[in-house]
Amino acid sequence: MFADFGVLNYWTYVVGAIFIILVPGPNTLFVLKTGAAYGIRTGYMAALAVFIGDAVLMFLSYAGVATLIKTTPLLFNIVRYLGAMYLLYLGIKMLWAVIKQKGGEHTHTADQRSTIFKRALTLSLTNPKAILFYVSFFVQFIDVQSSTPGLAFLILGVTLEMVSFVYLSFLIVSGSVVSRFVGSRKKLVKLGNSLIGLVFVGFAARLASLQS
């Protein structure tokens, strides 16, 4: 399928993409938390930011920015530490909200959705490893002899976004449904927010320790 457009082993790629999407990361956890805390509509606002961020990173990968980051340690480290600091900031903010007992008080204003959108977009864009990953993963399924490598890259990118959409939709809906059952159990909600906050702090430490 899509072999005429320079795509190799498309269905193998789809299976690989599914497993990659299923691996927990800061983006998916943020979307899950948003869907559970603010509802389906706001959850999709966060998911939209993730889609846009991933699309930008994929384009940068195709444009050759991945090579620049890989061969320029200073640039890689700048982006890496910015991402780590932002993850640490979000994690600490979640933990502080739990301590101040604000975990169950959420609004659904336009300003709140805008803030969530910006946070999710920043999470997606401050991940230099994602750019390098897209190149290393996509190149395995693109026929370098094809006359349309850009089209092949586009097909693979759109496929990954579709798989991501299905998975994030599941997280948003399930998170929203579950929150309705545990919404009145403040201790359980605080425990969930605390765990996610700690995970974000862990992601920050991991990103800061990565090497280019």
Cα separations (Å) of 204 from 58, 68, 201? 22, 23, 5
Give per-residue pLDDT as tens, 61-76.
Answer: 777 765 666 677 777 6
Q: What percent of the chain has pLDDT over 90?
A: 14
The domain total for the chain is 1
Q: Which of 77, 75, 86 is nearest to 53 (CA)?
A: 86
Q: Tokens 């480290």 label which residue? A: 77
CA pair distance 173, 16, nearest whole angstrom = 24
Q: Where does the pLDDT of residue 149 fall: very low under 50, low under 70, confident under 90, or very high at 90 and above? A: confident
Residue 154 falls within a domain, yes or no?
Answer: yes
Give per-residue pLDDT as tens, 78-90.
Answer: 767 776 787 787 7
Residue pair 200/26 in contact (Cβ under 8 Å)? The answer is: yes
CA pair distance 46, 63, nearest whole angstrom = 26
Residue 98 falls within a domain, yes or no?
Answer: yes
Phi and psi for 148 in degrees, rounded to 5? -130, 60
Residue 3 falls within a domain, yes or no?
Answer: no
Residue 91 predicted with pLDDT over 70: yes
pLDDT confidence of residue 33: 84
Q: Where does the pLDDT of residue 32 fall: very low under 50, low under 70, confident under 90, or very high at 90 and above? A: confident
pLDDT confidence of residue 140: 78
Q: Which domain holds residue 174?
A: 8-17+26-209
Residue 2 falls within a domain, yes or no?
Answer: no
Residue 71 falls within a domain, yes or no?
Answer: yes
pLDDT confidence of residue 101: 61
Average confidence (pLDDT) over 5-17: 88
Residue 193 falls within a domain, yes or no?
Answer: yes
Residue 85 falls within a domain, yes or no?
Answer: yes
Residue 14 predicted with pLDDT over 80: yes
Residue 1 falls within a domain, yes or no?
Answer: no
Question: Rounded mean pLDDT of the chain?
Answer: 78
pTM above 0.85, yes or no: no
pLDDT confidence of residue 104: 46
